[in-house]
Amino acid sequence: MKLPKLLQAVLVVVGVYIGFKLVFSVGLHQPIPSSLLTMYMFFVVVATLLVTTATEESAKEMSAPIKALVEDPSKKTIRNIVFVLVPLLAAWMTYSKLAPSFEAPVELRTIHPAPPSSLKAYGKSFDMMKLENPFSKFQKEDPEKFKVLVKEGGDVYYKNCHFCHGDKLDGQGQYAQGFNPLPLNFQDVGTIAQLQESYLFWRIATGGPGLPKEATPWLSAMPVWKDFLTEDEIWKVILFLYDYTGQAPRSWAAH
């Protein structure tokens, strides 16, 4: 038996929803955030409507049951039930949106705010447009020296950073769970792999308090390392971060 078009459409939408839930929450243990799922489902519904109304016949088939529900005298009981249920549903949705909860409100937070054009530290001013890691050049010029520098960077890291960023640089340090925002995972493609070394220098030197306004409302626990480390130590630890994770910093392409 062929299912009515309208029912097919509803089943597709519900099926996709359950599919998303099953795959991500149950299968992969990484649930889809509800804000994203809402967007996904909105477009799944839209697309389903588009497909089912693309031809004249199927558009008629889609609207037939709705028309019948509104106009057909024999459907009076169902009509009455539906006409009571729909406003109730709307009321329930409104209520659940407005009901107070203990969740902190969802905020759009910018994890990578734009850096300032210059940075003041160690008694001088660094031009962020031109700043480069003074040690990067050794990777080609003197690989032996580079290795030593990376190793020294590693020492800096394991003395200072791994409590938060984790001994595998994956953001899972012992104390990580205590912070909001969480210390970042450098293995992820979205952190240091997207950034230039100068950006890291700025972030490490000035830490959480150095974040500009758009990175609020949460103050990150990242310490202000220019108070504890030397300039060279910061550049070395940056070498280490990229070396360990196998990522490459973004470079000055056209300059």
Applying CB under 8 A, does 214 fall inside the site for another protein? yes
Q: In terms of C-beta density within 10 A (0-12 exposed, 13-18 middle, 19 or more buried), how is residue 41 classed?
A: middle
203 binds, options another protein, ligand HEC, none, Cβ within 5 to 8 A by partner type: ligand HEC
Q: Which is nearer to another protein, 54 or 88 (CB)?
A: 54
Cα dist from 160 to 96, 122, 157, 225, 246, whole Å: 45, 19, 5, 9, 21
CB of 127 to another protein, least distance (A): 11
* Interface characters, 146-185, with ligand HEC (x: CB under 6 A): --------------xx-xxx-------------x-x-xx-
* ω into 217 cis (within 30 of 0): yes
Q: Is 189 in the site for another protein (CB under 8 A)?
A: yes
From 31-39, 54-62, 125-133, 199-207, give the range in contact with ligand HEC by CB under 6 A.
199-207
Q: Please, is 173 exposed, middle or buried when counting C-beta atoms within 10 Å of its C-beta (0-12, 13-18, 19+)?
A: buried
Interaction between residue 125 and another protein (CB under 8 A): no
Asked if residue 247 binds ligand HEC (CB under 6 A), the reply is no
Min dist CB 76 to another protein, Å, is 30
Return the number of the residue (120 or 159) whose C-beta is nearest ligand HEC.
159
**Sites for ligand HEC among residues 93-152 (CB under 6 A):** 111-112
- Which residues are near ligand HEC by CB under 6 A? 111-112, 160-161, 163-165, 179, 181, 183-184, 191-192, 200, 203-204, 220-223, 225, 237
Binding site for another protein (CB under 8 A): 24, 28, 30-36, 39-40, 43-44, 46-47, 50-51, 53-56, 59, 103-104, 106-117, 128-129, 171-172, 177, 180-182, 184-185, 188-191, 193-194, 196, 198-199, 214, 245-255
